[in-house]
Amino acid sequence: MSFFKKYKKEIQQQELTNTVNSGSDKELLSSHLVDNMAEIQTIFTNTPDLVVTNLVIKQTKSLASLVYLGEVTDSTMLNEHVLKPLLLDFDADTNDPTPTPKVSIGQIKEAKTWSQITDGILQGKSVLFVDGSQVAILLDTGKWPERSIEDTPIESSIYAEHIGFTESGSKNIALIRKHIPNQNLKIKEYTVGERGKTKVSILYLDDVANPDLIKELETRIQKIKVDSITNSVELEEYIEDNPYSPFPQFFLTERTDYAALEILAGRIVTVVDGAPNVLVAPATFFSFFKSMDDYTSRWLVASFIRLLRYVGFFIAIFLPATYIAVIAFHFEVIPLKLLMSIGVSRERVPFPPFIEALIMEIALEMLREAGIRLPAKIGQTVGIVGGIVIGQAAVQAGIVSNIMVIVVALTAVASFIIPNYQMGASIRLVRFPMMIIASLFGFVGLSVGLMTLMVHLIELKSLGISYASPVSPLRIQEWKDLFIRFPQWSIRKRPVSSMAIQMRRADSSRPKGDKK
């Protein structure tokens, strides 16, 4: 019986080997040009932009076909550096028994399987098939439709660089290289997506960035199994630590100078081909309150503005909830004259404070969204005129009070000064649970909400690093660039939250000037 079992197992293994070999044989190219062109037509059915150019190579007197997608190929490069060298009669090496067609183009690769050829054509490459050869030649002649380098539309700056990322991953990497022309700037490339293959690149300084963080990010990217990703935020959702948190755990930026600054700090930048922004990790909660203008302004001015952002954070989250709690539960804390003024303002309002605030906040969010979706000139008009008209009409109709309009306006202004759009959107979302809990329990509910928010921020991670660093765990020495910004010459080390393996970033030497 053991002999028959062993014999049966050997037969199964042989059948499996034959199946694999037959599949690999079908995957390989034929040496006949006609068969290869027939296979191309079978693979790319209903593809009107597929171009097949038949020609005779003057160097080798061989029949050949050049296959590419017309809309994603650089026609100038194709004509000047591929077709012209192939069609013109150059001197060939007569001693070479199998001469290779000579083209004056940079990246040339060989392909032996149909999967390599299919992926190459879909990536914008041109494929040269030569009759009698089972190897095709991949020519990098891709040129995707793209816009030129422009100013950053969201993260605007006064004195900093006015150059933003584009939808081209290679251009974005070149823009970062412009800021960091160093041999230690390393790039690792991956392909994400089984149908739409998107190139994802991670950039870091080899002698500064922590290898464990690099390995962790690599592992998360390689584990993604999806048809395709189209932008950086979509990639972020697959690799972030806590997908249920309202707060972003990767810093998204469209500024080339800020991305370079973070790489120099020891962090890792992820570039997604097709996305006009990049992801920075690990990120902390306090990273979202920094702006490039902080480093192009006098340190006293930058510190004052940064403190304003933190004040705006608390106003944007807690001001409507505080108004609801005071009016509904704790009106005795209001000075008498102010209380009488609020009473006169609210005497015609039929709704409780929570409903009043909810109406105005939802109206504000709708106006904000309408202003974003409409064309720029119309959007500004809708935002300004709509806000004034609706607010004034709501007060005159007795739906809301004057005080409520002031509260909502201050809340909106406070949320606008947050420099990062993702963090601003998270703050607007957290505002509503705070309003609900304040309407139910007053200041007690607000206290519980504040503690819950703090606990959540402390336990949150970004690529395994504490989100609340350097406050939790407490590192006072890192506070030189936290709530305020000290002079650049006094910040001599990289932040510990980046987990850099080389901490020194600057010397202590500085010209003192003439003291006479």
Task: State residue 100's pLDDT score.
Answer: 53
CB 164 within 8 A of CB 254: yes
Does the pLDDT value for residue 5 go beyond 50?
Answer: no
Mean pLDDT, range 26-39, rounded to an integer: 86
The answer to whether position 220 is within a domain reads yes
Question: Residue 367 region, left (φ>0) first, then alpha (ψ -120 to 50), else beta?
Answer: alpha
Domain interval for residue 182: 169-283
Residue where one domain finishes, among candidates 439, 466, 493: 466
Task: State residue 81's pLDDT score.
Answer: 81
In the chain, the largest separation of any two C-alpha atoms, in whole Å, equals 104
Mean pLDDT, range 297-319, rounded to an integer: 93
Task: State residue 101's pLDDT score.
Answer: 58
Q: Give the CB-side neighbour count of residue 29, counting CA atoms within 13 A.
A: 27
Question: 235 pLDDT band (50/70/90 cuts)?
Answer: very high
Q: 407 and 327 in one domain?
A: yes
More confident site: 514 or 298: 298
Give 117-148 pLDDT, tens digit per residue: 998 888 888 999 998 888 999 988 888 777 77
Q: 314 and 193 in one domain?
A: no
More confident site: 73 or 516: 73
pTM summary value:
0.81
More confident site: 347 or 289: 289
Does the pLDDT value for residue 152 go beyond 90?
Answer: no
Question: 379 pLDDT band (50/70/90 cuts)?
Answer: low
Q: 119 and 64 in one domain?
A: yes
Q: What is the CA 420 to chain-centroid distance, rounded?
A: 13
The answer to whether position 372 is within a domain reads yes
Residue where one domain finishes, among candidates 255, 283, 311: 283
Q: 68 and 109 in one domain?
A: yes
Distance CA(284)–CA(289), nearest Å, equals: 10
The answer to whether position 305 is within a domain reads yes
Q: 232 and 85 in one domain?
A: no
Q: 306 and 279 in one domain?
A: no
Q: Domains in the chain: how many in total?
A: 3
Q: 248 and 214 in one domain?
A: yes
Q: 337 and 266 in one domain?
A: no
Reference 136, options 119, 161, 155, 154; nearest CA is 119
How many separate helices (H) and strands (E) can be counted in the chain?
Answer: 15, 12
The answer to whether position 382 is within a domain reads yes
Q: 317 and 276 in one domain?
A: no
53: tokens are 């150019």
Q: 270 and 179 in one domain?
A: yes
Please report, for residues 294, 409, 418, the alpha-carbon distance to residue 306 in angstroms, rounded to integers and kept in the order given.
Answer: 8, 21, 9
CB 201 within 8 A of CB 189: yes
List the alpha helices (DSSP H) in 28-70. 33-43
The answer to whether position 292 is within a domain reads no
